[in-house]
Amino acid sequence: MRIILLGPPGAGKGTQAQFIMDAFNIPQISTGDMLRTAIKEGTELGMRVKDVMSSGGLVSDDIIIALVKERIQQADCQQGFLFDGFPRTVPQAQAMLDAGVHVDNVLEICVEDEAIVQRLGGRRVHEGSGRVYHIQYNPPKVAGKDDETGDDLIQREDDLEATIRKRLGIYHDQTEVLVDFYKNMGEAEALKAHAPAYHRVNGIGDVDEIRTKVLSMLK
Ligand code: ADP
Ligand code: ADP
């Protein structure tokens, strides 16, 4: 089972990714989480991407493609994987096709921009695991603490309103085209055999209701 989660920042990809991982027993490959870990660990990669990430820009395709290609070679990806936040540009999507990495399902989560600006201001994350909460819509059991480990939750530095708006602009300019990219694969003779099933879910509403819809679409 290979799945791509598409949708703007804040649509709920990371939130739903946790449920999909559990249901299908596949790892989540979140390029955002991988990059944040590299920054935290102070690796060479982390130093290269730090400034562009905190300003809300995209990391270069070369870096991202190399990172993902290496990650999917690992043993835990044998039975499948869930891409969350990748691909984000046409060159990234094309690089996977060129490498013969095909996916079974693309799931788009739709949320309009204004709802996203509100949501991301309240996002809190557990750095170690990528678990994500919202102070109002999806609160942890104990305020400010991760449910499983009790560690402190953090607010991401790119979750500031001006940066969120910049990220949304980049989504509309560079990532949204992937909706048609994957939808149209079924129509191109050469690509037909590898075209993924395409699903679309409204990301506004109760987290559990969306989870039920998502899991039934992927069954
Ligand atoms: P969100 O879903 O909230 O936008 P992510 O955790 O997916 O956040 O990404 C955070 C940041 O990491 C992005 O704004 C970008 O700087 C970088 N990033 C993550 N994935 C990619 C990617 N596939 N291509 C380029 N940059 C990426
Ligand atoms: P993405 O990975 O697409 O950037 P996240 O899963 O991190 O999105 O969700 C962004 C924020 O919105 C988080 O604070 C999360 O708890 C919250 N959230 C996720 N799904 C919903 C929902 N259905 N309704 C309200 N808030 C949600």
- Which residue from 111, 150, 154 is spatially nearest to 16, judged by alpha carbons? 111
Q: What's the gap in Å between 89 CA and the centre of ligand 1?
A: 11
- Give the residue-averaged pLDDT of 124-152: 94
Query: Would the pLDDT of 186 be above 90?
Result: no
Kindly report the protein residue whose alpha carbon is nearest to atom 19 of ligand 2.
Answer: 12
- Give the residue-averaged pLDDT of 105-133: 94
Residue 211's pLDDT is 98
Asked whether the beta carbons of 5 and 82 are under 8 A apart, the reply is: yes
Confidence of residue 219 (pLDDT cuts 50, 70, 90): confident
Catalytic residue among 2, 36, 88, 211: 88
Catalytic residue among 156, 165, 183, 213: 156
Q: Is 31 in the pocket of ligand 1 (CB under 6 A)?
A: yes
Centroid of chain to Cα 163: 17
Kindly report the protein residue whose alpha carbon is nearest to atom 19 of ligand 1.
Answer: 32
Mean pLDDT of the chain: 95
Q: Where are the alpha helices (DSSP H) in the chain?
A: 13-24, 31-41, 44-54, 61-71, 90-98, 113-121, 161-170, 177-184, 207-218
48 labelled catalytic: no
Q: Is 133 in the pocket of ligand 2 (CB under 6 A)?
A: yes
Confidence of residue 130 (pLDDT cuts 50, 70, 90): confident
- Give the residue-averaged pLDDT of 172-201: 92
Crossing angle between the packed helical segments 61-71 and 90-98, to the nearest 10 degrees: 40
Query: Would the pLDDT of 108 be above 90?
Result: yes
Residue 188's pLDDT is 82
Residue 1's pLDDT is 94
Residue 59's pLDDT is 98
Kindly report the protein residue whose alpha carbon is nearest to atom 25 of ligand 2.
Answer: 137
Kindly report the protein residue whose alpha carbon is nearest to atom 4 of ligand 1.
Answer: 9
* Integer Cα distance of 3 and 16 in angstroms: 12
Query: Would the pLDDT of 8 be above 90?
Result: yes
* Integer Cα distance of 145 and 218 in angstroms: 31
Q: What is the per-residue pLDDT across 12-71, written as a single tens digit (0 to 9) for each? A: 999 999 999 999 999 999 999 999 999 999 999 999 999 999 999 999 999 999 999 999
Query: Would the pLDDT of 82 be above 90?
Result: yes
Catalytic residue among 2, 119, 123, 131: 123
Q: Domain map of the chain by residue range?
A: 2-26+79-111+172-218
Q: Is 123 in the pocket of ligand 2 (CB under 6 A)?
A: yes
Q: Would the pTM count as exceeding 0.85?
A: yes
Asked whether the beta carbons of 7 and 109 are under 8 A apart, the reply is: yes
Asked whether the beta carbons of 130 and 82 are under 8 A apart, the reply is: no
2-26+79-111+172-218 to CATH, choices 3.30.70.141, 3.40.50.300, 3.30.360.10, 3.30.365.10: 3.40.50.300
